[in-house]
Each structure stands twice: as structure tokens, then as C-alpha cells.
Amino acid sequence: MRAIVLGSGLLGITSAHYLQQLGHEVTVIDRQPTPAAETSFANGGQISVSHAEPWANPSAPLKVLQWLAREDAPLLFRIRADLRQWLWGLQFLRECTPARTRHNIEQIVSLGTYSRETLQQLRAELGLEYAQRTQGILHFYTSQKEFDGAEAPARQMRELGCDRRVISADEAVSMEPALAHIRPQLAGATFTAEDESGDANQFARALARRAAEAGVQFRMGHTITALREAGGRIDHVEVTDAEGRFQRIQGDAFVLAMGSFSPLLAAPLGIRLPIYPAKGYSVTMPVLDAARAHQVSLTDDEFKLVFSRLTTPEGDRLRIAGTAELNGYDRNLNRVRCEAIVRRVEQLFPGAGDTSQAQFWAGLRPATPSNVPLIGRTKLGNLFLNTGHGTLGWTHACGSGKSIARIVSGLSPEVDFAFTGMQSALPRIAAAAA
């Protein structure tokens, strides 16, 4: 079968790899000159099965309202005259009930656990190197109230098979000595030993190279302008190459993995995908003093930031990422947000990183209202989805890629998850995608 993968981010590349492994002739199309150059470029690096709590949860509506006027809010809705944003907001509110939240968490943990195992297998099989660390994720709290509230979600994670343990501030410091500096402010932490971190972009580029060696064709610098339907199937995609030449590319199956841009190409086919871009920031800086820098991947609960240490033979870097702004497709860097992140790094680990060489980046998370990605079938027989991975596209990449490759091939996925267009436990999302 000729399988065409639309998009070469983490989700497109993992889809292409597993499709090729199942014996298909695979072509990947992307507008960028290199793979993983958009949202999969400089994310927080965490493989965090333990962080399955979706943005939409019972406490979210009040928090979001309080944050509306705060320029440095962790989750900021910039209200626009944009119908898609309003519809997304309404669907988000519907996902905030306790029952929906619980259901969404179950989906996210199930896919996350499978995906982390799939990543570990792939890493072992191909010998991939991407600054990976397997020292767990430590989520620390500087507010006693928030720490007290951490017990219930940690228990829920444990019930779902993810061993997120509540630990004292002293235990946290003994696990990560770099936290000693803020010991007086630390209320406590949770720790998930099985979680990991690594450079998602390095991983994606390494996997793309291996896929190309195995025969996957990459058509980079090709902008997809339309998907054309004939007789209830996609007949071809229309693209414009880097020189502005128009082409049609035909295939037997098409996997839509264009991140935040997926809904724009699906809408003319009458397929409404509930995905809206949620802009996030990251800062990357060289390590200045290795003894002051953290080793374990961290989550700062108060500032909603994640920290990963990316160490390769070429260099040792700190990657800090977070914040979410729902403001359409704008990717401009907001100085207030960038400076707030650098200030926090200096507060926590003074002297650890070289802030004078900080590199700032912003990417658009393809966010669904529920945080549950859209993986599976559409109403068009040969159009498949692997998109809408929001905050956890790196964590879910390998499991999603392997699952969609199996679905395209007519095989059952290996994980219990509400795949779209297949007997789904998520009727609302599936209906929206159908």
C-alpha cells in the first residue's frame, strides 16, 4: 500500500516509521526543509505519563477566569473574534466535569504507558541517542495548599498503574540535590521513577534518518494546499514545492499529522477537528555550573514549568518549557513570558545556566478540549488521523505512531484507547472528527 503521511513532526515521523515496518511504501510531506521543525522543535523534553491531568478539570474554569488579565498566566485565553476559539472554549468547559476529567485521565494514562514502553523498545532496537535520561520525573510544590491537593491525583495515577509517589521535601532534595537552594520554600513533591526525558527533536531527526535509510521518502519543502476527495476517499493531495510548482500526490492511505494545522486541511472535507493552537514557550541555555544544575527532570507546580537536562557529547543544556496561550496561530515571542521563565530558573538554580546565551522559542501545541488526541479513522475510508496531541505529543508519539500504523494496516491497536471512528469510548470527540 502507498501510505502518505502529511506532516513530519513527532507524530508524522513515528507514523511513517511504523507504517514502513509493516511493509508499506511510505512518503512523508512537509513544508519545512527539515523534519520536526515546528512544534516538535524545542519542547519540554518530558516523557511524563504521570502528568495526565488535563487542562480541563473541575478547578479549571475558575482558575482560567482569574488568569484572564495576567500577562504571565500559566494558561491564558486571549479572547478573539474567532468562532473556532469560542467553540473550542465551550467544548473545554464541557470536559471540566469530574466524570469527563476522570475518563480523559484514564485515556491519557493508558496511551502514555503504552507509548513509553514503545519508545523504550524502539530505543533499544535502533540504538537511538537523544540526550535521554531515565531518572524519573520529580514534581515539586512550593505551596503547601497545592501539595496537600497532590495526594488525590497521585493516588489516582497509582490506581491506573502509574507509580506516582508523594515524597517529603527532604526526600526531594536527597533525590535532586540542586533543589537544596529552595529547601525552605519546598512543601513537598511527587516522584514517578518510570518517567523519562530527552530531546524530542534529536529523537525525531534520528528516527527520520533511520526511516529514510529504510526507504521512506521525505518530500520536504512541500506545502500541502488541499486534500481532494473522490468517491468517499482521498484521491490525492495538492502541494506546492519550494520553487512554487504545483503537484498532485496520490496514495492509497493518508495520515493527517499536521499538528495545529490539521483542522485547516480537514475542514473543507466536512471533517471538523476540535483542535486549537495553544502557544507555549521554551528556553534553552548552556549549563554554566554543572554542580548547581538539576539532573532529574523536574516540574515546577507553582510556575507550571518543566525542566529537562539535555546532555550529549556535544554539550550540556538546560531546557525549560511551559505556559499556554490561546491566541490563534500567532507565534511571536512575548518578552514578559520569556523573562519570567529566565527569572524563575535563576531563583531555583542560581548560576546553573548561562542566561546570557538563552535561546527562546515558541511552538503551537495542537490542543483538543479534553487533552485526548485524535487517532484513528475518519468518515473518508482512506483518511486517518494522528493529531491533536496537545501537551503530551512527545510522551504519546511512539504509541500513537504504532497504533495508527496498525489501524491503517487493518490490524487491531495494542492499547485500550478511544480511537476515533472505531468503537469509541469517547463518542463526542469521535463524532466531531467523523
Ligand X SMILES: Cc1cc2nc3c(=O)[nH]c(=O)nc-3n(C[C@H](O)[C@H](O)[C@H](O)COP(=O)(O)OP(=O)(O)OC[C@H]3O[C@@H](n4cnc5c(N)ncnc54)[C@H](O)[C@@H]3O)c2cc1C
- Of 94-102, 115-123, 127-135, 278-286, the segment contacting ligand X by CB under 6 A is 278-286
Does 54 interact with ligand X (rule: CB under 6 A)?
A: no
CA distance 413 to 377: 12
Helix (H) or strand (E) holding 101: helix 98-126
Does 395 interact with ligand X (rule: CB under 6 A)?
A: yes
Nearer to ligand X, 239 or 348 (CB): 239
Nearer to ligand X, 106 or 169 (CB): 106
- Of 18-26, 62-70, 340-348, 360-368, the segment contacting ligand X by CB under 6 A is 360-368
**Residue whose C-alpha is closest to residue 388's, from 227, 269, 239, 271:** 271
Alpha-carbon distance values, 304 to 134, 142, 190, 237, 422 (Å): 22, 11, 14, 39, 35
Does 283 interact with ligand X (rule: CB under 6 A)?
A: no
Compose the 234-273 pattern: x for residues touching ligand X by CB under 6 A, - for all others.
-----------------------xxx-x------------
Minimum distance from residue 42 beta carbon to ligand X (Å): 7
Helix (H) or strand (E) holding 374: strand 374-377
Looking at 5, 11, 345, 407, which residue binds ligand X (CB under 6 A)?
A: 11
Contact 255, 15 (CB under 8 A): yes
If you count DSSP H runs as helices and E runs as strands, how many of each does the chain have, helices first? 12, 20
β-pairing verdict for 253-256 and 305-312: unpaired
Minimum distance from residue 367 beta carbon to ligand X (Å): 9
Nearer to ligand X, 190 or 395 (CB): 395
- Of 54-62, 124-132, 279-287, 333-341, the segment contacting ligand X by CB under 6 A is 279-287
Does 109 interact with ligand X (rule: CB under 6 A)?
A: no
- Of 3-11, 17-25, 126-134, 161-169, the segment contacting ligand X by CB under 6 A is 3-11
Three-state secondary-structure class, residue 347: helix
Nearer to ligand X, 45 or 169 (CB): 45
**Residue whose C-alpha is closest to residue 104's, from 409, 369, 333, 299:** 369
Minimum distance from residue 283 beta carbon to ligand X (Å): 10
Contact 230, 382 (CB under 8 A): no
Does 9 interact with ligand X (rule: CB under 6 A)?
A: yes
Minimum distance from residue 15 beta carbon to ligand X (Å): 9
Quote the DSSP letter at residue 150.
Answer: T
β-pairing verdict for 188-192 and 196-197: unpaired
**Residue whose C-alpha is closest to residue 258's, from 267, 245, 250:** 267
CA distance 211 to 292: 38
Helices (H), 176-279: 200-213, 262-266
Nearer to ligand X, 173 or 227 (CB): 227
Cell readout for 214 is 529504510
Does 201 interact with ligand X (rule: CB under 6 A)?
A: no
Nearer to ligand X, 95 or 173 (CB): 95
Compose the 309-348 pattern: x for residues touching ligand X by CB under 6 A, - for all others.
------------x---------------------------
Beta-strand runs (E) in 231-267: 233-240, 246-250, 253-256
Q: Find all residues with CB under 8 Å of 233, minimum gap 6, and list them.
A: 380, 381, 382, 383
Nearer to ligand X, 30 or 300 (CB): 30
Compose the 23-52 pattern: x for residues touching ligand X by CB under 6 A, - for all others.
------xxxx---xxxxx--xxxx-x----
Of residues 164-183, which lie at the interface with ligand X (CB under 6 A)? none
Task: Note the residues at the interface with ligand X (CB under 6 A).
Answer: 7-12, 29-32, 36-40, 43-46, 48, 223-224, 257-259, 261, 280-282, 306, 321, 363, 365-366, 387, 389-395
